[in-house]
Amino acid sequence: MKLRIKFRKFGAVRFLGHLDVMRFFQKAVRRAGIDIASTSGFSPHPVMSFASALGVGTESNGEYLDIEVHSVTDSRDMAARLNEASVPGIEVTSVKKLPPGARNAMASVAAAAYTVSFREGREPMFPYPEKLDEFCRQEQIWILKETKKGSREVDGKPGIFEWTVLENGEISLFLDASSAGHIKPSLLMEAFVSHYGESLQENALQMTREELYTDCLEEMQTCAGVRTVHGVRTVHGLGTVHGTQSIRQAQAIRETPIPQEAQAAHSTRAFIPLDSIGTEIVGEKPYEP
């Protein structure tokens, strides 16, 4: 049986690297008495898979971990056990059972939602709330990305799905997080500030990853028996739609005619949070170690 665990990462723990978080959960699962499966061979280790690595210093309200177990109690009990075995700064918010055919968390990630703000005294001199929309509506947005072969400029516009300046001055971003087109919010903000003739000050950004999303149609077509999901977020250049969608409705969204100016940016896509296809476990036989 495969489970998907959703957790938050905040406070001082945000400075822990991805490998440290992996090692922490390997120990926390054992301390919590979760009946996790292990690999075979001379050096067995717990069967677990994380979604997308989170940048050091970034907080998150939507991180995911998949594990394989032999037996379970129920979702609330397992979440409570994990939180008792946890440390300040890591909080498990849900545990759900994955349907047959579900892809692992890492392979599922297609997009991510972020909230970004400037630290006090490190804001750009230009009026960035008014300039963000102008910047993001350019035909091309060149971002400097680090690769194994060195630095190179890429057009990040296809991976910028949404941008909004909130009333409190924070910036809400919905970006491509797939392995092929991943856009880091820090690189986008650096390009934004540079476009208006300034440099991003050191440690100027406060960032929170709010949620990780998967492609709605791709996920539902690979999962046996899944016909309804929650939290659909549709992107077609005209904003988002939140709610509950059936697979037929999601398909209809993609087939809806889109204005020409929106088509130029990117085709219509429907996204759902990674835990949308999972189900709460209720009333299972308690696990006795």
The answer as to whether 92 is a domain residue is: yes
Note down the domain range covering 45. 2-106
What per-residue confidence (pLDDT) applies to 275?
Answer: 86
The answer as to whether 68 is a domain residue is: yes
Looking up residue 31, the CATH number of its domain turns out to be 3.30.70.580
* % of the chain residues with pLDDT over 70: 80
Q: Are 244 and 230 in contact (CB under 8 A)?
A: yes
What per-residue confidence (pLDDT) applies to 286?
Answer: 47
d(CA 278, CA 261): 36
Q: How many CA atoms lie within 13 A of 260 on its CB side?
A: 0
Assess whether pLDDT exceeds 50 at residue 255: no
Tens digit of pLDDT for each residue in 237-249? 433 444 444 444 4
The answer as to whether 208 is a domain residue is: no
CA-angle at 280, arms to 279 and 284, nearest 5°: 120
**β 59-68/205-215 pair status:** parallel
The answer as to whether 53 is a domain residue is: yes
Helix (H, G, I), strand (E, B) or coil at 151: strand
Assess whether pLDDT exceeds 60 at residue 147: yes
Give helix then strand counts, H and E, for the chain. Answer: 8, 15
What per-residue confidence (pLDDT) applies to 266?
Answer: 44
The answer as to whether 270 is a domain residue is: no
pTM of this structure: 0.84
Give me the number of domains the chain comprises: 1
The answer as to whether 153 is a domain residue is: no
Please state at what angle helix 185-195 crosses helix 128-136, rounded to 10 degrees: 100
Chain position carrying tokens 């991003």: 200
The answer as to whether 86 is a domain residue is: yes
The answer as to whether 242 is a domain residue is: no
What per-residue confidence (pLDDT) applies to 220?
Answer: 62
